[in-house]
Copies of this chain bind each other. A is one copy, B any other.
């Protein structure tokens, strides 16, 4: 590969001049500029990004840390992040943390050593203190870490109220909730939304809530428990779509028809939700838009551009499909 020296030699100028035309900064005569550009073409010269990084202490790459890219929420997010990063001239290296602190810290260390310019994280193990120590911009997605850290989330509580309220409208009399893990803030917000909607109904008690761990297998069992305990349940609000799909499966096993006997609503709006039968009614997050916004925000922070806002709380939208019925 040709280097800047080769180009300089070809063009009969110094490397400084080549650098100037490369970065179009500083004065350079039109003719010499032309000469340099010809040399660049002739040699098919591409500047070495690593050398550049070393000097500038930036790498034009950002890190994306998610618990698990296989979790259907994240591919779409990752896609949006990568799309806009690419558009803005950044590459993205992605990391699966499995919500494991050691793994996360290991990644952080490596990424810092590589001069990544910023980080997008979906994590509940990361603390504000650690983020500060990184000394690079960090944006949190899907979860709130701390008020000091720029964040992109959705209105989980009001979304949960929408979901539960919709079930009520549909005529459901006993609505159960499949909850996400207690250590994930958005799960707790969704649970709170559910409680605000039905927590003071005369029939309600906490045995209408079961932990489904945001995952399908657990949700199947949890739903079976729920249905065994309370056969009168006629509506389930699941804290995410994956659990809602589990609930549909469990309902079938249990001999309940969805939506006739049991209405089910999810949360997230992942594309999986359209693959089920019946198709899942859900509270949809604008996942792609959120990915676009985080990436945009992060790059602005990196490039020290003005940002009008460092906290984005997106509205969610009820998407009515087949798993809930009008009575």
A79 and B75 form a contact (CB under 8 A):
no
| Interface: A95 (CB within 8 A) | yes
User: Residue on B with the closest CB to A98?
Assistant: B83
| Interface: A76 (CB within 8 A) | yes
| Interface: A276 (CB within 8 A) | yes
| Interface: A91 (CB within 8 A) | yes
| Of B78, B109, B111, the contact of A69 (CB 8 Å cutoff) | B78
| Of B69, B111, B114, the contact of A82 (CB 8 Å cutoff) | B69
- Beta-carbon contacts of A282-306 to B below 8 Å, as 1s and 0s? 0000000000000000000000000
- Beta-carbon contacts of A153-197 to B below 8 Å, as 1s and 0s? 000000000000000000000000000000000000000000000
| Of B50, B94, B95, B276, the contact of A50 (CB 8 Å cutoff) | B50
- Beta-carbon contacts of A65-105 to B below 8 Å, as 1s and 0s? 00011101011101100110010000111111000000000
Number of A residues, CB within 8 Å of B: 48
| Of B94, B109, B277, the contact of A276 (CB 8 Å cutoff) | B277
Stretch at the interface among A51-59, A206-214, A221-229, A231-239: A51-59
Given A50-B114, A91-B114, A115-B50, A76:B70 Cβ within 8 A: yes
In this complex, the member of A46, A51, A75, A78 whose beta carbon has the largest number of chain B beta carbons within 10 angstroms is A75
| Interface: A113 (CB within 8 A) | yes
| Interface: A327 (CB within 8 A) | no
| Interface: A199 (CB within 8 A) | no
A46 and B79 form a contact (CB under 8 A):
no
B93 and A61 form a contact (CB under 8 A):
yes
Minimum distance in angstroms from A45 CB to a CB of chain B: 11
Minimum distance in angstroms from A127 CB to a CB of chain B: 18
The answer for the CA separation of A78 and B74 in the assembled complex, in Å, is: 12
